[in-house]
Chain A
């Protein structure tokens, strides 16, 4: 009865056409390291743009500094574009990509 032991495809995980149409894609906003922006300035920008406390802002700033990049937001395309625009107005190197 091996065939009965084979997992049955979970139909609940299938995406219906209706769901496919309504589920908006998710975008990641990424801030990249650069040799010119000051660390405390980057922390300040994160606090302003995302409303983070200093500890969270510093964590992401250090991630940018040590790992070269940090994902700072995961949101709709519209919101991600707004974040990229705001970060670039502060002259940070920010990009977005589809998740």
Chain B
């Protein structure tokens, strides 16, 4: 994935065919769910907990809005040019933040689906036909997050 241009309004990336497939596979999985850091507080101070139900409801609303944004984003992308491998991806600046949140939700959710491996090697050595989609989404979303953050910092 290559950053072709950056303006005040948007980023324009060139994606290879495989990157395009992985991006759609990753975004289509959103929200993966399954994650949930202990929403609570440090031990001994349960009174400090925000209402867990309210928090879950509020996060659910955020995720629903983001799912609509993902859907709209995927439908708005230009089709591949004839004879040109890959695809252009236009990303308005205002969409970068939700895109990062979505990608990271998929990454964290995939990590949960893989059994929360602590070490990179542990995750890789447990590949199976069932886990491969999670491994791909986990790796691709992390890579994509790094690319987007680098694009933000590109002058």
Contacts and interface: CB of A to CB of B under 8 A. Distances in A.
Interface of A: 27, 30, 32, 34-38, 40-41, 44, 48, 77, 80-81, 84-85, 88-98
A88 B55 contact: yes
A84 B108 contact: no
A87 B119 CA distance: 24
Overall SS of chain A's interface: mixed
Contacts of B38: 93, 95
Contact of B100 (A41, A81, A93): A41
A91 B41 contact: no
Contacts of A91: 35, 101, 104-105, 107-108
Size class of the contact patch on chain B: 20 to 34
B108 A36 contact: yes
B54 to A, nearest CB: 9
Interface stretch (B11-19, B21-29, B42-50, B74-82): B42-50
A94 B145 CA distance: 20
Nearest to A88: B59
A94 B97 CA distance: 19
Nearest to A77: B48
Q: Majority SS of interface residues in chain B?
A: helix
Contact of B50 (A32, A36, A40, A85): A85
A84 B50 CA distance: 9
Contacts of A34: 37
A88 B62 CA distance: 11
Given A34-B37, A35-B116, A80-B50, 16 more contacts: A30-B42, A35-B111, A38-B145, A41-B104, A41-B145, A44-B152, A81-B55, A88-B39, A90-B104, A91-B101, A91-B104, A95-B39, A95-B40, A97-B45, A97-B48, A98-B47
6 contacts: A27-B48, A34-B37, A35-B118, A88-B39, A89-B101, A93-B37
B5 interface: no
B56 to A, nearest CB: 10
Contacts of B142: 38
B127 interface: no
Contacts of B37: 32, 34, 88, 92-95
